[in-house]
Amino acid sequence: MTFFDLGFWQVFAVFTVFSALCFGWPLLRSWQEQKRALRDGIVSDLRHAVQEDRLHELETTLQQGDIDSQELASLQQDLERTIALEDAQTADDFNHHAITFGSRSKVFLAALCLITPLLAFVLYTWLGAKPDWDIREQMISLNSQPQVSVEEQRALMASIQRRLEQTPENGHLLFLQGNIAVQLGDYEEAVRAYQSLNTLFPDSATVLAELAQALFLRAGNTMTPSVRENTQRALELDNSLPTALGLAGIDAFQSGEYEQAISLWQRAVQQLDPSAPAAVVLTQGIAQAQAALAATGKPAKPSGDEPSSALPVEVTLADTVEADLSGAVLFVYARAWQGSKMPLAIQRLDAPEFPVSLVLDKTMAMAQGMDISSAPQLEVVARVSLSGNAAPQSGDWQGSFGPVILDQLDGVVRLSVNEQIP
């Protein structure tokens, strides 16, 4: 947990204690000095009493004839000089502390102890980022709920709009405003928010892609020149943005360019979690584009450009593996080297005998349109599951190899199972 993860009141309490220590220390010192001054006064009174006793003794000594008048005068002067010096030092200390730690000073310091945290709270509420903090807390509360009502979203939108009236160039809030407006179906408001954000950050690929999507939705899911322009600008800045790739794929699909649509959507899916709603929608779009392409009777690619659709693999077991693998299951699969970790081809072998030779191909894809030819680079993984579960678990053994480029592959991909999952 960082300092900024603490609640406002915890931070306020920390600074209040700090203020009390800063201003309360002089008060404590003042109390100590007052005790010292009182003690010094008592000591001074004792000194004077001792002086009188000493003078009386000197006079008695003179009367007894032990000293003469001249010696008496000299001893009296020495005693009076010593007492005077000590009294002068005590007076200087008293005057110094009386000025530094007078009653008015103590009242002033006590007032500062109370006023400083209160003043800080007022200034933070009025001029600081407390409204931003409140919005953050509101968002955390909504994100913790399984379902968020429209009324709660609108309440959050109202808080954001009020804050934007005070800080109209707050890019974070503008992005939130656009995002929530899309969720509420207020595409006009979303366009305004992203246009304001684009003015602040004209070279942001993410902002351009979100603006293009808002324009697309406002136009009733239609590719307008403005949508197309912002999509292309976004892809020029970052050609891996799923939102921009998805829109460009829609444009290609609506223009009858099904091969290009498939390619763009496949690139977009590789950047997403396979279980994400956007990935599911894009995968369905790829299937539709493939069906539309097949209906035209046109091959997906010229035969000369068709990449290899088979990936020969040989799996060996490292000598360091000493586990009992009887009853284990071997999963061998290929996935994109970068992006989504969803297998593009997978084989399952019960009670394997190593070394194992097999071939991964397009027929082993888990989703239509997402096979080993859809990724420019592949990673091949072999995992021995002791439980037979497809999901990796502690104690399983695995090995991997990559990157692999299918159309540049010459021979067999060899990998060794040599690493145990902790």
Amino acid at position 312, single letter: P
Other beta carbons less than 10 A from residue 75's beta carbon: 17
Is there a domain that residue 141 lies in?
no
Quickly tell me which residue has 């599951």 as its tokens: 385
> pLDDT tens across 248-291, in order?
999 999 999 998 998 899 888 877 776 678 888 888 888 888 88
Return the pLDDT at 290: 83
Return the pLDDT at 201: 92
Is there a domain that residue 134 lies in?
no
The answer to whether the beta carbons of residues 170 and 147 sit under 8 Å apart is: no
Is there a domain that residue 234 lies in?
yes
Average pLDDT, the chain: 77
More confident residue, 16 or 189: 189
Q: d(Cα 282, Cα 274) in Å, to the nearest integer?
A: 10
Q: d(Cα 133, Cα 11) in Å, to the nearest integer?
A: 12
Q: Over 50: is that where the pLDDT of 228 sits?
A: yes
Task: Say yes or no: 311 and 372 in one domain.
Answer: yes
Is there a domain that residue 158 lies in?
yes
Task: Say yes or no: 347 and 369 in one domain.
Answer: yes
Q: Which of 59-73, 92-106, 391-405 has the highest mean pLDDT?
A: 391-405
Task: Say yes or no: 283 and 166 in one domain.
Answer: yes
Structure confidence at residue 365 as a pLDDT band (50, 70, 90): confident
The residues near 419 (Cβ < 8 Å, ≥ 6 apart) are 397, 398, 399
Tokens standing for 257?
């360019």
Across-strand partners of 334? Answer: 345, 380
Cα angle: 379, vertex 380, 385; to 5 degrees:
130
Q: Which of 23-27, 87-91, 109-113, 353-357 has the highest mean pLDDT?
A: 353-357
pTM of full prediction above 0.75? no
Return the pLDDT at 333: 92
Q: Over 90: is that where the pLDDT of 327 sits?
A: no
Return the pLDDT at 414: 92
Q: d(Cα 118, Cα 293) in Å, to the nearest integer?
A: 70
Structure confidence at residue 307 as a pLDDT band (50, 70, 90): very low
Structurally, the chain folds into a number of domains equal to 3
Is there a domain that residue 137 lies in?
no
Final residue of a structural domain among 303, 327, 345: 303
The answer to whether the beta carbons of residues 362 and 368 sit under 8 Å apart is: no
More confident residue, 363 or 227: 227
Task: Say yes or no: 153 and 121 in one domain.
Answer: no
Task: Say yes or no: 168 and 282 in one domain.
Answer: yes
- CATH of residue 181's domain is 1.25.40.10
More confident residue, 213 or 282: 213
Domain containing 24 equals: 3-127
Q: Over 70: is that where the pLDDT of 189 sits?
A: yes
Tokens standing for 324?
């009992």
Task: Say yes or no: 89 and 186 in one domain.
Answer: no
Percent of the chain at pLDDT exceeding 70? 65
Final residue of a structural domain among 303, 334, 369: 303
Q: Over 50: is that where the pLDDT of 422 sits?
A: yes
- CATH of residue 393's domain is 2.60.40.2990
Tokens standing for 366?
């888990």
Task: Say yes or no: 223 and 100 in one domain.
Answer: no
Task: Tell me phi and psi for residue 280, to 5 degrees.
Answer: -65, -45
Question: Picking from 45-54, 248-257, 285-294, 303-312, which range would have the lowest pLDDT averaged per residue?
Answer: 303-312
The answer to whether the beta carbons of residues 101 and 34 sit under 8 Å apart is: yes
